[in-house]
Amino acid sequence: MSETKTATGGGPSRREFLKAAGFTFAGALVGGCQRAPEQEAIPPLSQPEDIVAGRPSYYASTCDACRAGCGMLVKSYDGRPIKLEGNPEHPLSRGGLCAAGQAALLGLYDRLRLQHPSREGQENSWEEIDRDIRDRLHDLRGRGGLRVLTGTVTSPTIQASVTRFLKHMRENGDFADAKHVAYDPLSCSAILDAHERTGGSRVLPRYHLDRAEVIAGFDADFLGTWLSPVEFTHAYRVGRPLTGDPPRSSYHVQVESRLSLTGSKADERVCVAPEEMRAVLARLAVAVARQAGAPLDAADELSPSLAGFCDRLALRLWQARGHSLVLCGSQDVPTQVVCNFINHRLENYGATLDIDRPSLQRQGSDRDLATLLHDLDAGKIAALFILDSNPVYDLPDGEGLARALRQVPLVVCCAERLDETARLARYVCPHPHYLESWGDAEAVSGVIGLRQPTIPRLGETRPVIESLAAWAGAPKPAYDLLREHWKDHVLPRQARERDFEAFWDRSVHDGYAEVDPDPDRVRPKDFNLAKAQAALQAPAAADRGQTLVLYSKVGMPDGSHAYNPWLQELPDPISKVTWDNYACLSPDAAAQLGLGDGDVVRVEVRDGALELPVRVQPGQHDRVVAVALGYGSIVSERFAGIGPPWLEARPTVGENGLVGQNAAALLAWEGGTLRYARAVEKLTKTGKKHPLALTQTYDTLTLPAHLAPPGQERRPLVQEIGLSRLARKPAAPPHEDKPADLWPNDHPCPEHRWGMVIDLNACTGCSACVIACQAENNVPVVGRDEVRRHREMHWLRIDRYYSGAGAAVEVAHQPMLCQHCERAPCETVCPVLATVHSDEGLNEQVYNRCVGTRYCANNCPYKVRRFNWFAYAHEDKLQNLALNPDVTVRSRGVMEKCTFCVQRLQEAKIEARLRGEHLHDGEVQTACQQSCPARAIVFGDLNDRASQVARLRDDPRHYHTLAELNIGPAVGYLKVVRNRPDDGEGQRHD
Amino acid sequence: MTEVYPPLRQPLVAGDKSLADVTQEVCAPLERRSTALWWLAFLAALSLLALGVAAVYYQVTTGIGTWGLNRSVGWAFDITNFVFWIGIGHAGTLISAILFLFRQRWRTAVNRSAEAMTIFAVTCAGLFPVIHMGRPWLFYWMLPIPNTRGPLWINFDSALTWDFFAITTYFLISLTFWYVGLLPDLATVRDRAKPGWRRRLLAFVSLGWNGSYRTWHRYETLYLLLAGLATPLVVSVHSIVSMDFATSMLPGWHTTIFPPYFVAGAIFSGMAMVLTLMLIARKVMHLQDYITVRHVDAMGKIVLATSCMVGLAYAIEMFSALLSPNPYEQFTFLNRAQGPLGWGYAIMVTCNVLLPQLLWLRRFRTNLAAVWVLSIFINVGMWFERFVIITTSLERDFLPSSWADYAPTSIELATLAGSFGLFFTCFLLFCRFLPMIAIAEIKGVLRIGREGPAVEPRDPASAEASALAGVSRLDGNQGVKP
């Protein structure tokens, strides 16, 4: 819309026109030249080994998005990582990688990641910063305590460095009480404390869900966010194979106050108020003890129905003793002690719970943290080193903590981003992204993951271990520090390799090393029954008011991911909300207050309040208000401008300029631990509105009552079958593969016919596939307003349907992607043949032929086609490095959709042809399939009768969604199986 | 083609005009300065057009995202407006071609403007398929043009391709038909014009018309042939438009009744639009003697007939959906009537089926103000018919997870307003610069040169009554003698 001379009426003369044209042309030339810096266009004189331009390399590494320590493979193109995938050989994660883990790639290419060390906000050199810090430490000697505050440290090398640093400070720096304090933003301190009471050592057991035949979860969202979801999801899946005669499946009971992802998969789900949890566990303990023949007496104030449930569960657990597992997510130590007692009585220790090789995924101690906060308030701390954590954001009373931190003479913060805490630190020492540096992680005792750099550092950052070594006066590169530690402490813990170099090379290649547990660890003692008895006697809370429950979302494990646009736009698998946190209320509770989705409610607790939009959430206890943590972080400021700018666009951030609100302010200290549940003082309607960005607005398969044709109230899109019925059913021949058709098949697939089968029973809805697809296929992020307008771009979505009502709701997850129909409705209607069928059974979208009539999307019964409403590609040169070079970045006005990862198919076919072989089954995996922790997605060649996908098509559980349309979808589903003791014909979706 | 009317027949043109009167009165608006009222209307229409141009410019440069569409509702306002305008056009072709072939002489007074309306409506309609594309600058890819883009060709299976052909054919035939009909009148205007550029221009566009017997003969033959050619288009174009929906597999679109249903609806809405325009034009352009109550009465009957057809279609559609064994189909129709857009369905049924029943009353049919108000209701109702069909079916289809509501944005509203702006701008220009009534044809239905006694003067009310009786009994098949 530039002003030209024509507007003034004169019109440009010929000379002026030529001049303008010349400048434009020259400008275009100059602009074009800037894109490729010449110095990097010269190929290296000697090609680096194994690096072929245009061919990806995979490096084994270990994920650092949370402390679960999953193994991963970094797919790297021309020296830049473009995708993170699960490492199939890793003993914990077994090939899965969660949504947050995969999305961490964007962190590497984050424009706003800290690039330089700084002092009081001014960029500075490392030498000067180090000198300064050492001088300050020298000045401060004897003036107070020194603390190193971290999250859980799973890295043995960092742990050793911290220990060395503290030792140096104690011995040479006159900080006699120099100490390391670890805390977790999502604390599990109570479990460790309870084991300290009952077993004498502060450990977190490693849970083996695969060995458990009966699993009882108590507010532990182990498939979603608790401790190590990928590991647990895989193990859970292993425990439900549905093979054998009768088909085998673990029995899973979930007792919880809000609807978690884990609860959505349970065979039986019981909704109780948070304060009842201890009473339920106590009753269960009594019942189990009775089964064990050692009765206990304990106060019993449960309702008869809950008591009956506990007795039934106790019987199931007892029958499966040694093969059962009780998991509890409570932060109340006595409750955890009761849980330990139950597991002890059920002889699960050593079987399904391992405390000899414990989990190291949570080591934080709320007690230590509380002491530190107290010391800070009292001004006893002279120097505080905060390593890779953000206590000002994570902890309640962040403002108070900020005030206290300003009084501390020396605050050094090693951070990746300028978060709430780093803003207060005098010295900010950025550490590199874990894809740029060496590192290790021992998430579970005996499995040590290794990290290797996959790209040169993008800024002047320095690993934490190097910084600690420098401040301790012995600077050394991280690589050397790591190798030294491994040589001295890891190599001796195994017997397979004698030679360190061989051991090291193998570990780097594998990405992990399996070794013996750390010999220095305190051994657990015998179970202390007396403590458990005492816990049973502890009076239960008798609160009957509303309870605020703070939880973490699958897509936003904690605030450290708030910078990540993929995760912000990932729909929560249960609530289907993106870009916000909100107050979940049960339908009855919401109706009582006259609230609906998007009405803003004020949640007041004793020492704080938040105003949040409401999301009406079935399956939640009526007296619970659930709010997600991890939002309202200062790093989400960046999203103020995300999304296409146009006349009616609304901002992605809220009134506070951030995405969502920080609910950590409402956490409470109680009994020495951080509590995620507390009493609500007042819940008031504000009258304000904040429409939520939902990707699914209709939640059930049941049609609205006044619109449902009689007898057709429920659509059979997700089908269920009871375990006992599955056992009775003979392996039925597939009935829908040969539909009656008037016309001969006009799409012959002579060689391959690609197909997919998704096991809805295995699928937990964890959404790892959604992010995998987004990363693989360059799917753009569109921002909150666009999602609100139902224009999210995800090629793969997970449909979530409720059945039943109120607290007893049941949930089904159905991943939905292009079904690559044989007789695809989209293909016939395109006027320009932009969507066509390939001779391998793929429904292909030709982007550069598409003119954007959107007829194909209208005619798609699965509504999986996505349209580029705006030009979403943007010129962020750093972030665009994350784009997959094998996949086109789509322009404005064209349709797009799942391609079955056609780029991977082509690559695999080319590789096979080069080898002169046929493509073997399983050799090519789609992105969604690769990262699925539950192995729910199977992809392959349907023409190959021996392939896994072809065999699954003959499974009695196999069905096609909307088979009645006779369009021949290439994606099939396996029915959900519920393991119910009283299961008759209880398939609600059938 | 002069005919002799029986004495009972009421004149089609009131006021006992001479041939010169007709020429004078029809040409008068072209030869004097525009009235203030015309300017007012023109500027209003032009403003709307400018608003629409701005909206379309913004949309084309920014993206279809400026419309309220979403992943489930891929078409809404755009295709609704398209079908609406195409439907409007149909009445013009019906009047000019079919009624011509059926020798309905009363059509002569309105056929010129009705045809003009057709062309402008099709222009408005044609705009939408182009701007609704994600990449409108590539619209020519819909044409089977030999190209250098490899073996790329268009998809003859797609209803959109048929649509493209149907509309372009329709537009070309309508334009030719209209232009050919204009030739004698353009010559008349030419002959009246003072020497100068206007006269030279008129001389050029009247293609050297000289009024000779041979010219007239060729003209009449060509006109008849074109009428024959245009007649099937009345049926085919909207049938094909309906196939955009009928050949899909979306419940609520995939309906075999659509072709006749859409054609009836098109004529219905077109007639309503003709009434809307004519009733204003006869007042503003002082053409009461040419467009008489009798015309309104005749068109009212067509409106009533088509309204009943449309009503029947609604009933059959609902009946067969509910009777069908297809649960998706059943749901779609229940949802259409009672779902979130149930109010739209109510507007559609009220405006298109219930209110037009008033036309059974002769008193209503001859009350011009009432008919005009009704015509507006029908226009609104028919717009909603298309909106309801398109949007409700898309909003809630097979998978409940993908159900999504639609609401238009300001850009879409401005684009709709702009299409009305375009239509009225064109129409007002037409009124100002071309003879609104076919002078040559209207002269053929005057009394001049007829045998028989003049009708005795009677009081106006009873004269009108007997005239109406004559229309219903005799019109079209009586008294035609070569």
Backbone angles phi, psi at A615, to 5 degrees: -120, 120
Could you tell me the pLDDT band of residue B74, with boundaries at 50, 70 and 90? very high
Q: What share of chain B in percent tops pLDDT 70? A: 89
| Higher-scoring residue by pLDDT: B99, A567 | A567
One-letter amino acid at A800 equals R
Peptide bond into A246 cis (omega under 30): yes
Instruction: Go through chain B and tell me how many residues it has.
Output: 482
Whether the Cβ atoms of residue A95 and residue A114 lie closer than 8 Å to each other = no
Question: Which chain B residue lies closest to A857 (C-alpha atoms)?
Answer: B74
**Chain B residues whose beta carbon lies within 8 Å of the beta carbon of residue A707:** 331, 334-335, 338-339
Interface test with A, best of B77, B253, B401 (most A CBs within 10 A): B401
Residues of chain A with pLDDT under 50: 1-9, 31-39, 983-990
The position carrying tokens 């086609």 is A865
In three-state secondary structure terms, A204 is strand
Please check whether residue A609 touches B, CB under 8 A: no
Runs of H (alpha helix) within B194-292: 197-205, 213-246, 258-284
Strand partners of residue A269: A254
ipTM at complex level: 0.88
Interface test with A, best of B56, B72, B402 (most A CBs within 10 A): B402
Three state DSSP letters for A331-378: CCHHHHHHHHHHHHHCCCECCCEEEEEEECCCCCCHHHHHHHHHHHHC
pTM confidence score = 0.89
pLDDT computed for residue B421 by the predictor: 95
Gyration radius from chain A CA atoms = 29
- Asked whether residue B317 carries a pLDDT value surpassing 60, the answer given is yes
Q: Which of A791, A850, A859 sits opposite B249 (nearest CB)?
A: A859
A697–B58 CB contact, under 8 Å: no
What domains are there in chain B, each with its CATH number?
Answer: 3-479 (1.20.1630.10)
**Chain A residues whose beta carbon lies within 8 Å of the beta carbon of residue B399:** 717, 799, 816, 861-863, 961-962
- Token pair for residue B462? 């009873």
The whole-angstrom separation of Cα A654 and Cα A664 is 18
- Asked whether residue B173 carries a pLDDT value surpassing 80, the answer given is yes
Please check whether residue A112 touches B, CB under 8 A: no
- Asked whether residue B249 carries a pLDDT value surpassing 70, the answer given is yes
**Chain B residues whose beta carbon lies within 8 Å of the beta carbon of residue A893:** 63-64, 133-135
* Digit-coded pLDDT (tens) for A199-246: 888 899 999 999 999 999 999 999 999 999 999 999 999 999 888 878
The whole-angstrom separation of Cα A583 and Cα A550 is 10
Could you tell me the pLDDT band of residue B82, with boundaries at 50, 70 and 90? very high
**Chain B residues whose beta carbon lies within 8 Å of the beta carbon of residue A968:** none
pLDDT computed for residue A830 by the predictor: 92
- Asked whether residue B474 carries a pLDDT value surpassing 60, the answer given is no
- Asked whether residue B104 carries a pLDDT value surpassing 60, the answer given is yes
The pairing of strands A324-328 and A214-218 is parallel
Q: Which of B68, B74, B334 sits opposite A709 (nearest CB)?
A: B334
By mean pLDDT, which of A267-271, A909-913, B211-215, B443-447 is the weakest? B443-447
The whole-angstrom separation of Cα B305 and Cα A377 is 87
Return the beta strands (E) in A78-218 as ranges. Answer: 80-86, 118-119, 122-123, 145-150, 179-182, 204-207, 214-218
Angle (nearest 5°) at CA A569 between A566 and A575: 135
The pairing of strands A668-670 and A122-123 is unpaired
- Token pair for residue A359? 């989990």
The whole-angstrom separation of Cα A524 and Cα A195 is 9
**Chain B residues whose beta carbon lies within 8 Å of the beta carbon of residue A790:** 70-72, 404
A895–B135 CB contact, under 8 Å: no
Whether the Cβ atoms of residue A934 and residue A237 lie closer than 8 Å to each other = yes
The whole-angstrom separation of Cα B105 and Cα B295 is 10
Please check whether residue A824 touches B, CB under 8 A: no
Question: Which chain B residue lies closest to A824 (C-alpha atoms)?
Answer: B249
A347: left (phi over 0), alpha (psi -120 to 50) or beta: left
Angle (nearest 5°) at CA A406 between A403 and A407: 95
Strand partners of residue A451: A439
Three state DSSP letters for A555-603: CECCHHHCCCHHHHCCCCCCCCEECCCCEEECHHHHHHHCCCCCEEEEE
Average pLDDT of the segment spanning B53-71: 94
